[in-house]
Structure 1
Amino acid sequence: MSSEAPIFIGTEVVERVLTWKELVEALRAAYTLDHDEHISPPRTFARGDGASLRALVSVPPGKRFMGAKVFGRGRNQGMNYLISLVEQDTGEIRALLDGNKITAYRTAATSALAVDCLAPHRPLRLGVLGSGAEARAHVQAIGALRKVESLQVYSPTAANRERFARDFEASLGVPCRAVSSAASAMDGVDVGIAAARSRDETPILHADDLHPGMVVVSVGSTLPQQRELDASVIAQCDLIVCDTPDEVVSQSGDMLGARAKGIEFDAKVLSLNRLVRGEIGKDAKLPLFKSVGSALQDIVAAELVYELAIREGFATGLPISFTYKQ
């Protein structure tokens, strides 16, 4: 087999080589291919004595690599993310990557892909709930793909939302304003982005904040105990597009909360794969993109980073080798 040594790619290289447009197009290509349930099986979550470890694996169709992302939360609440890339042809471990920034990039890029499929084809008015890293990444990703006409942002801390508005008014060159409520942030927008759970897990977005014709994006509730959307939002949206439908339905606190209130939504929960393939979405009046993340996104993003880092000479060779079994 190949004697090529595995490489390591750190966060600084990820930030140097990865661009939003390239990542969105790589994800679009991956989601255009037909998927089955075995490509990215449900994640594994192990817990013990105050520590936890989560693993996600995927064999993306049409790609060179398959891979895994593993991240553990220590008893001190800290964590690292490790992504390993393995040749689909030979089973060789080819690269190890720091997955922290890749996780942030792939989440926002996947949302931007869904927005591009669902939102009207004109300059977009954005409404944002949250002013942290996820909210910023979502505006950057959508802004790299589509022209933004205006932005409204709400988060509980006035200084944070005002800073967010100033920063994006400077970078996007369009009117951006901080507002004093979630309802005001959603007023008249084409795309409403929920990227900030409340500290006490009280839902931050309600059906009264929505209007027909807008696209809702929700990325802040990925575990059963987490809440971001009120059950009324799940009831009102007529299409719920999910990156991993089974996990969204069974693991997201938003969906579990809606189910507990007797809201039936299974018939309108459909996959991002079907949306990107053009099979759904054309007639939706109030669509929701609900994301909990997927190993397919991680591995597609990591393969793109690998290719760019190799091309630019930024990858670090590791003085190690793995025993090959055949």
Structure 2
Amino acid sequence: MNHIDHHAAPLLLTQQQVRDYLPALPVRAALSALFQALAQERAVQPAQTLTLFPQGAGDVITYQGVLADAGVFGAKLSPYIVTDGRPVISAWTSLMSMQTGQPLLFCDSGLLTAERTAGTSALAIDLLARQDSRLLTLIGCGALGQAHLRHVLSLRDWQHIRVYAPDLAGKPELQQQLQALDPRIEISGSVAAACDNADVIMLCTSSASPVLDPATLSKPALITSISTNAVNAHEVPPASLAAMDVYCDHKHSTPDSAGEMVLASQAGSWQRERIVGDLADLVSQRCTLPDYRRPVFFRSIGMGLQDIAIACALLQQAQAAQ
């Protein structure tokens, strides 16, 4: 995270401008460097804040972070605005210089959020999945699910890639897009069929309740989950945590927000101290790797530092292009 001109004029990037930079954005490398910095206390991750608007008009979540190596700090603002029609949801990230105190970047971060979410799962899969993993499964095929596929396709020598979503059978154009992305992709008719004998299962649904019970798997697999913003949303049963090796993106904040962890802790069936490690531990080799004698679960909730790291990589590309 170097080569930032801290004296350059601040940049304002629209969604289309961000889209133009995405293909060359080093997402996984930026995230890996971020978690290395976090492990070495060269980055700061404050708690996110939720601010309610008066009279039920909506809210805004602020995700903050500080990257000392890059010399930047910043925040992503993600408002939810209640209108007469559909709710307005957007996200904007700002970066400022730790050297000059001046703004460096203000950008639409809707696309960046999808990239950092998928990139985080990909980093976890690269670190946690067995090297001989051959069968990849995706449950849920919205924008985030498709981003996950793009980021994970090159990580292992996948022999089979199965995709299931409840409405996918009725979307021939989306099926064609998936086949164009990778001809190995197979459309499954159910969660059970998609997960049969899978090595890695990516849960990318908008469901607030479980879509997969790890106890039903034919063999131990790595399961990743991003869940949704609903209160206590969870894609696996809370009780299943006790029978899995559990990892997460940030062990100091994930257990307070991940629905299955919150509910399992309340029920007394699992405690946050049983988290084997987070991404900072994994990239710095401070925790044990799974032996796959039982299922492995990786849970991410998203962090401000991820947004800052991706925006920082974007800033480097934009400045270099000028």
| TM category, shorter | 0.7 to 0.9
CA contact (8 A) 1:161 1:178 kept: no
1:225-304 paired onto structure 2 within 5 Å: 225-238=232-245, 240-269=246-275, 270-285=277-292, 286-304=295-313
Q: Distance in 1 between the 2:199 and 2:187 partners?
A: 17
Q: 1-side partners of 2:134 and 2:175: how far apart?
A: 16
Give the secondary structure class of the aligned counterpart of 1:245: coil
Q: Report if the CA contact (8 A) 2:65-2:308 is conserved.
A: yes
How far apart, CA to CA, are the structure 1 residues paired with 2:166 and 2:24? 28
Quick check: 1:42 aligned with 2:47? yes
Give the secondary structure class of the aligned counterpart of 1:244.
Answer: coil
Which digits, 9 at most, give the CA deviation of each residue in 1:121-160, with x for residues without a partner?
2463211110101111101111144443221122211435
CA gap 1:158/1:16 in 2 versus in 1, 3 angstroms: closer
Q: Residue in 2 aligned with 1:126?
A: 136
Alpha-carbon distance, 1:3 to partner: 6.7
Structure 1 gaps of 5+ residues are 314-326
Shift of 1:210: 3.1
User: 1:74 aligns to what?
Assistant: 81
SS in 1 for 2:194: helix
- Counterpart contact for 2:168–2:175, Cα < 8 Å: no
Deviations 1:193-231 (A, max 9, x none): 111032xx3211112333544211000145533232212
CA gap of 1:14–1:284, structure 2 versus 1, over 3 A, is farther
Counterparts of 2:233 and 2:265, CA distance in 1: 14
Distance between the aligned counterparts of 1:26 and 1:220, measured in 2? 23
- Residue in 2 that maps onto 1:97: 107
Deviation for aligned residue 1:110? 0.9
Q: Which moved more, 1:54-63 or 1:9-18?
A: 9-18
Aligned length: 308
1:40 maps to amino acid: Q
CA contact (8 A) 2:265 2:272 kept: no
Alignment of 1:203 with 2:210, yes or no, is: yes
State the SS of the aligned residue for 1:258: helix
Q: 2:182 aligns with which of 172, 181, 194?
A: 172
The counterpart of 2:226, out of the listed 219, 230, 252, is 219
Q: Distance in 2 between matches of 1:59 and 1:88?
A: 9
Name the counterpart of 2:160. Answer: 150
SS at match of 1:274: helix
Identity of matched residues, %: 25
Change beyond 3 A, Cα 1:3–1:121 = closer
TM superposition shift of 1:98 = 0.6
1:185 corresponds to 2:226: no
- Work out the CA distance in 2 between the residues paired with 1:74 and 1:148: 42
Rounded Cα–Cα distance in structure 2 between residues aligned with 1:37 and 1:65: 11
Q: Is the 8 A contact 1:112 1:141 kept in 2?
A: yes
Provide structure 2 residue ranges, at least 5 long, that are not aligned to the other structure.
Answer: 1-5
How far apart are the structure 1 equivalents of 2:215 and 2:191?
10
Asked if 2 retains the 8 angstrom alpha-carbon contact of 1:71 and 1:82, the reply is yes
Q: TM-score, normalised by structure 1?
A: 0.86
After TM superposition, the score normalised by the length of structure 2 is 0.87
Change (3 A) 1:312 1:257: same
Q: CA RMSD in A?
A: 2.3
Letter in 2 for 1:139: L
